[in-house]
Amino acid sequence: MSENIRLYIEDWLYTSGVVGIYNILKYSKDEVIVKDNYVEFNKNCLVGFEDKYFNYFIDKYKDVISINKIISFEEFLIKHKESNFEDFDENNLEFLDKSIREVFKKYLKSNSYKAAYDLIEIDVNILDLEKELKGLKLKKKENIEDIISEVKNQFDILEKIIDYFKSDSAIKYIGAKNAMYTVIKNGWNGVCFLNPQTKEKDMYLDYRNYFINPVAEYIDDNKEKYKYSCFACDGAMKNLSNDLSFVNATGFDVNKKSSHVWDFQNDVAICPICKLVYSCVPAGINYVYDKGIYVNENTRMEKAININEKIYFELYKNNENNKRLTYKALVESINKEFNNKLKYELSDVQVVRYENEKYKFNMLSKNTLALIKKSESELSFLSNKGFKEINTYFNIYELVVERLLNGQNMFTLIQKLMYYKISQPKDSFYRANDIIKILKINKRFLEEVGAMEYKEKDIIKFGNAAGYYLREKYRAKGSVDKLSGISYKLLNALKTNNKNAFMDTVLNCYLYTKGQVPNIFLDVLKSDEEFKTIGYAFVAGLIEGENKEGTDNK
């Protein structure tokens, strides 16, 4: 029997698991051979694989797992102890109180933490220390000096707690618990250490016994008499005991749902090696909290590894606020593949997203990829722009790219952004010029799909300039306040595709200002797409007039 294990490119889910195994072994500095359509490694790499598995997740997602929120608080303690609390003010007290309540007390008493304390080889009762922590607030007529002794006492308790969690043993087990419930459960669930009824408290031993030991036995077995075939790799199997029920949004309980298979006789089973591969899916897909993204590059294994590695880098190189921008990471990664020395061949790419415990699929065609590349400059302006709707914040960059992936135009999004800019400006964190950027992207999209003829004349530029100059005329007459109501009328006409109502309103505006109607409005009548493109550009200039383009449209 060969000493090496070879894993081939298959469907997207299996390949993401192969990428995951590669990532784990590479992180552990094991030798892994990467060929065009497979990776290969020695079976001895599986010795201690359970430690490599958890260490990879603990380190890769150190910025989002909760144990690091506890450990990183040490910087706050050191800073004020070294200055002898000279700079400690009410803002620091408020931050300390909030951290005690929302970080330390919350996590130290959580069930996942309690389950790990018995495994940590340190003679400290962390729950007793947690009881000593108290929230601190100033009473009436009190100042910082009055409670500084209590603050120092809380600092001492927090230092003991942090020293506990900084230990190798605490990082090993608490970090593993964090990884289990923050990342790993997104890929698979219900078995091994994610089975609520598991009898093994040590997640490292549980993973080794459930996923790794069966592989070693399987490799050494004589398979000549095996009569079943693996559903994933077509390898010989002794029985059908390993099914895919543990894989999220993919597998099913074959005992309860036999109707899912032909003639009610289950043949959907996998060999121990493939079961290990599927357990590594969370290491192949990149996650941001409860969302995941994976690019199914199935032409070459090296490309599959590289582009998903770039996505991880783009996700986590920025600050905390940008870590939810999964599409931005995707676009940045694709754009780098255009430019790098690997000479990335432009081809259709499947993007897999994990949201709300379901997988969603988009196909990035060659044309869509090229469109994203052409729109790179406009998209860069939108990355930090967004709006609040009820209590939810929406990032405009993500919404624009999502529509490109789904092959949708931007008109409904532009309508909403225009309306919010007028009706609730405090919750609209963007400018009218950002809407012009979206219109330019949308115009390229419409031309690409054949919904609009290509035009050398920049109808967006002229439409926006017309709105700007009309606004200036209203300003000269002291009637800028009237533009809000006019804008609502124009937006309603654009929403209902009513060219007559739109032009009636426009003509009335120019009659009021005694100005000449710009020639650009002749193009409004040519097609619905040109009508909306020019119309929204005009309203953008009207509600927040800027003539940055320097267009003279008098």
Does the pLDDT of residue 341 top 70, yes or no? no
For residue range 399-416, list pLDDT tens digits in order.
Answer: 998 898 888 999 999 999
Residue pair 148/88 in contact by the 8 Å Cβ criterion: yes
Is 349 strand, coil or helix? strand
- Mean predicted confidence (pLDDT) in 82-111: 94
* Beta strands per DSSP E along 342-474: 349-355, 358-364, 386-389, 392-395, 428-429
Q: Angle at the Cα of 382 (from 376 to 385), degrees rounded to 5?
A: 170
pTM of the model: 0.81
Distance CA(66)–CA(262), nearest Å, equals: 45
Is 278 strand, coil or helix? helix
For residue range 178-199, list pLDDT tens digits in order.
Answer: 999 999 999 999 999 999 999 9
Q: What is the DSSP string of 226-267?
A: --EE-TTT--EES-S---STTBTTT---TTT-GGGSGGG---
For residue range 373-400, list pLDDT tens digits in order.
Answer: 888 889 989 988 999 998 889 999 989 9
Give the helix/strand (H/E) hosting 286.
strand 286-288
More confident residue, 117 or 312: 117
C-alpha closest to that of 117 among 51, 200, 54, 202: 202
Average pLDDT of the chain to the nearest whole number: 88
For residue range 111-138, list pLDDT tens digits in order.
Answer: 999 999 999 989 999 999 999 999 888 8
The domain limits of the chain are 4-61+183-284, 66-177, 377-554
For residue range 17-67, list pLDDT tens digits in order.
Answer: 999 999 999 999 999 999 999 999 999 999 999 999 999 999 999 988 999
Residue pair 397/325 in contact by the 8 Å Cβ criterion: yes
Beta strand pairing call for 358-364 and 291-296: unpaired
